[in-house]
Amino acid sequence: MRPFVLVAALLLAATAAEAADCTAPAQAQVDWQRCYMDGRDLAGHGLTGARLRETSFQRANLAGADLTRVDAYRARFITAAMQGAKLDDGQFSEADFTKADLSGASMVRADLRRAKFFHAVLRGADLTGARTLAAEFINADLSGARWTDGQRVCAEGSLGQCN
């Protein structure tokens, strides 16, 4: 076999082995990287440890879903219903939560660096230990949210910052 044919075959095999299965059922450790899950009803599903990098969940229902330890780097949760969802210890850096409803969600120790929360609802959310460096909370409702220090609870009417 010619060397360049062998290299091409190995690259093709490696790519196929790493390809996400966007049709796989919602379950723990599912690989949905770069998939479109827009509008899907995933309420209450357990996606612990899932690979969700650059996946779109626009207008999806993730209320009560378990997203513990997921890798959702640059994922899009625009206008998603995520009330009571568990995002603990997850990788959400550069994720977009614009207009998402995260009321009562748990984001304990989540990596939220450079994430966008424009006009998001985080009422009563728990951000204890979350990393929020360069995260944008423009007009986000943080009323009653437990802030990253685990001690402070944001006052009613906290928009864009925890007061």
pLDDT value for 103: 98
3 state DSSP class of 86: strand
- pLDDT for 13: 45
What pLDDT, on the 0 to 100 scale, is given for residue 18? 58
In the predicted model, residues of the chain with pLDDT beneath 50 are 6, 10, 12-17
Q: How far is CA 11 from CA 8, 24, 87, 113, 162, in A?
A: 5, 24, 34, 33, 49
Render pLDDT for 4-47 as a digit per residue (tens, 0 to 9): 554 555 454 444 445 689 999 999 999 999 999 999 999 999 99
Backbone φ, ψ for residue 4 (5° rounding): -70, -30
What per-residue string of b and e applies to 60-80 under the rule 16 or more CB within 10 Å gives b?
bbbbbbbbbbbbbbbbbbbbb
| pLDDT given for residue 3 in this prediction | 55
Q: Which pLDDT value is given to residue 20?
A: 80
- Give Cα 22 distance to the centre of its chain: 17
Distance CA 124, CA 18 (A): 38
Cα Dmax for the chain:
70
**What does the pLDDT read at residue 30?**
97
Q: Which domains does the chain have, with CATH numbers?
A: 21-163 (2.160.20)
